[in-house]
Homo-oligomer: A and B are copies of this chain.
Amino acid sequence: MSARGSVPEATVARLPLYLRSLLALAGEGNTTVSSEQLAGAAGVNASKVRKDLSYLGSYGTRGVGYDVEYLIFEMSRELGLARERSVIIAGAGNLGQALANYNGFTDRGFPVAGIIDADEAKVGKMVSGVRVYAVADLPQLADGHPGCIGVVATPASVAQEVVDRFVEAGISSVLNFAPSVVSAPKGVTVRQVDLALELQVLSFYAGRNEAGRKIPRRVIGN
């Protein structure tokens, strides 16, 4: 398939996984990788890797595999990682501070441009090297970092309001950590991460496993 037909969502969600694996493989000195190897590293199966890569129109070499450096290049380009994207965090509370302090963002190419907070007492302070700005400063901050990503780390009660402000400031990518459903106009992408939700899902399966274990106490031949 030749590059520009829309890439399935499920595939998009796996691209960063492949990229991460490829970077690791490159670090180990591999110059070439088969779909089988890449699948192993990314924790998926080989046909999936081949299908996914085929959506990017990337070319491997039959009988050989994919060129690691070339794939990294292609994939970074697809993911828009050539261009740096800053992150603006809304909410200087627990989670906001944690995220500002979290190296994972900066390390992987998403520097934190600032934190905005409604609490005047916090404005002007530094939180692990990141300045806290007033809500009124958001438009200016966003302008200074074109293509930046807004991160919602406020209580759920104000999440929608924050998203609206982000959108007004011209931000079109939002990562929402608040446990609340938010809406945004078309053209704005919102992704939701709810930490407690993940725990609840685990709890569901834990219940099933434990319940399941009750009956087959001593199964013959297992």
Contacts and interface: CB of A to CB of B under 8 A. Distances in A.
Interface in A4-36: 12-13, 15-17, 19-21
A198 B193 contact: yes
Interface in A33-58: 41-43
Given A85-B203, A200-B19, A209 B187 contact: yes
B94 A102 contact: yes
A102 B183 CA distance: 25
B105 A94 contact: no
A177 to B, nearest CB: 8
Given A179-B20, A191-B198, A193-B195, A203 B105 contact: no
Interface string A146-162: 01010000000000000
A80 interface: yes
Contacts of A105: 195-196, 199
A78 interface: yes
Interface in A78-110: 78-81, 85, 87, 94-95, 97-99, 101-105, 107-108, 110
A175 B202 contact: yes
A213 B107 CA distance: 29
A81 B207 CA distance: 9
Nearest to A194: B16
Interface in A154-206: 172-175, 179, 181, 183, 187, 189, 191, 193-206
B94 A200 contact: no
Nearest to A212: B187
Given A12-B205, A80-B203, 4 more contacts: A19-B200, A42-B181, A172-B206, A173-B205
9 contacts: A79-B204, A98-B99, A104-B195, A147-B210, A149-B203, A172-B206, A175-B198, A189-B206, A189-B209
